[in-house]
């Protein structure tokens, strides 16, 4: 079967503190986008996994979350099977858009259907949480508030299906580094955060990430002042900064390239669910 694995943006991200297990407690509102990776998943006669990817810079061994998802599904269900998977990569990695986590969730859903296991959404979310912090969010694929280290998922209503412009600078940001830097960073509250309807858009990781990658606060401020942009914020741990569009905003992406250069990648998409 072929299955899409959507990207996400964090509309809010509050870091509440470091946990004894080394992770951080967070509260974040995430929303899926119609920008998506595509996975082809098929069962094969011999056991094991064959995995290939259109992006040669990504690992195709057991360190990839796709392979980890196959192993986690087998361990949780007690099934022995062989699977062949190809990932057509469209979501940039190291971008704060959850591409790897979404790929893992897509594989879990595909295997559940192909093998006829019949696991519930809640059971799939439990397996997903064992793979990575954001993976459980992508099982349902709807806007949700995620708590704990991100594995406790509570779907929410009322998130507008806004048009989004993603801007990815020519460098990634390590999620582990960003959270580690948050612990040492000076904490600041946005007194007047940008609003998306009733949602106050605040990202606690902006402060430590912006202090290292100085192009990012410049990009955010520039986007927020452009005609047709009603809000701008970094997604997750970065490096992507996104703008919420409204009205006439046809040429914002072209203006980004002229202002910041062709090495800045731009995608136009929507919050979709």
246 pLDDT band (50/70/90 cuts)?
confident
Residues 163-270, CATH architecture: 2-Layer Sandwich (3.30)
DSSP assignment string, 27-60: EEEEEEEEEEEEEEEEEESSSEEEEEES-TTS--
What's the rounded Cα separation, in Å, for the pair 5 and 7?
Answer: 7
Whether the CA torsion 234, 239, 240, 241 is positive or negative: it is positive
Helices (H), the chain: 65-77, 99-114, 121-131, 137-140, 175-184, 206-212, 215-224, 252-260
Task: Give the distance, in angstroms, between the CA of residue 139 and the centroid of all CA atoms in the same chain.
Answer: 13
Residue 4, SS3? Answer: strand
Higher pLDDT, 37 or 227: 37
Q: What is the CATH number of domain 2-155?
A: 3.30.230.10
Q: Which of 8, 109, 168, 220 is catalytic?
A: 8
CA angle at 160 for the pair 159 and 162, rounded to the nearest 5°: 130
H or E element at residue 17: strand 2-18
Q: Is 8 a catalytic residue?
A: yes
Per-domain residue ranges of the chain: 2-155, 163-270
Threshold 0.85, pTM exceeds: yes
Please state, rounded to an integer, the average pLDDT across all residues of the chain. Answer: 93
Q: Which residues pair with 241 in a beta bridge?
A: 167, 234
Q: Is 134 a catalytic residue?
A: yes
Q: What is the pLDDT of residues 5-51, one digit of tens each?
A: 999 999 999 999 888 888 889 999 999 999 999 999 999 999 999 99
Tokens representing 132 are 């990575």
189 pLDDT exceeds 60?
no
Number of helices (H), then strands (E), in the chain: 8, 12
Q: DSSP label at 97?
A: S
Q: What is the pLDDT of residues 118-158, one digit of tens each?
A: 999 999 999 999 999 899 999 999 999 999 989 999 999 99
Q: Which of 37, 103, 134, 204 is catalytic?
A: 134
What's the rounded Cα separation, in Å, for the pair 242 and 232?
Answer: 6
Lookup result for tokens 């992406």: 253
Q: Does the fold of domain 163-270 match that of domain 2-155? A: no
């Amino acid at each position: 079967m072929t299955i899409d694995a959507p990207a996400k943006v964090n509309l809010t991200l509050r870091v509440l503190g470091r946990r004894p297990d080394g992770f951080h407690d967070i509260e974040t509102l995430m929303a899926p986008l119609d920008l998506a990776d595509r996975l082809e998943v098929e069962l094969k006669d011999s056991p094991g996994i064959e995995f290939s990817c259109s992006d040669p810079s990504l690992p195709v061994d057991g360190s990839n979350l796709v392979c980890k998802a196959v192993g986690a599904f087998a361990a949780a269900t007690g099934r022995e099977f062989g699977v062949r998977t190809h990932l057509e990569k469209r979501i940039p990695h190291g971008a704060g858009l959850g591409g790897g986590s979404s790929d893992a969730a897509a594989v879990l859903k595909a295997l559940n259907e192909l093998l006829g296991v019949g696991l519930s959404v809640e059971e799939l979310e439990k397996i997903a949480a064992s793979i990575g912090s954001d993976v459980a969010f992508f099982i349902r694929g709807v806007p949700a508030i995620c708590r704990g280290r991100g594995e406790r998922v509570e779907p929410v209503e009322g998130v507008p299906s806004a048009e989004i412009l993603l801007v990815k600078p020519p460098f990634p940001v390590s999620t582990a580094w960003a959270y580690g830097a948050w612990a040492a960073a000076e904490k600041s509250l946005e007194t007047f955060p940008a609003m998306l309807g009733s949602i106050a858009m605040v990202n606690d990781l902006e402060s430590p990430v912006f202090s290292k990658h100085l192009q990012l606060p410049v990009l955010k401020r520039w986007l927020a002042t452009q005609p047709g942009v009603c809000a701008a914020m970094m997604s997750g741990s970065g490096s992507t900064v996104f703008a919420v569009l409204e009205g006439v905003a046809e040429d914002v992406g072209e203006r980004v390239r002229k202002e910041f250069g062709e090495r800045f990648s731009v995608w136009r998409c929507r919050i979709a669910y």
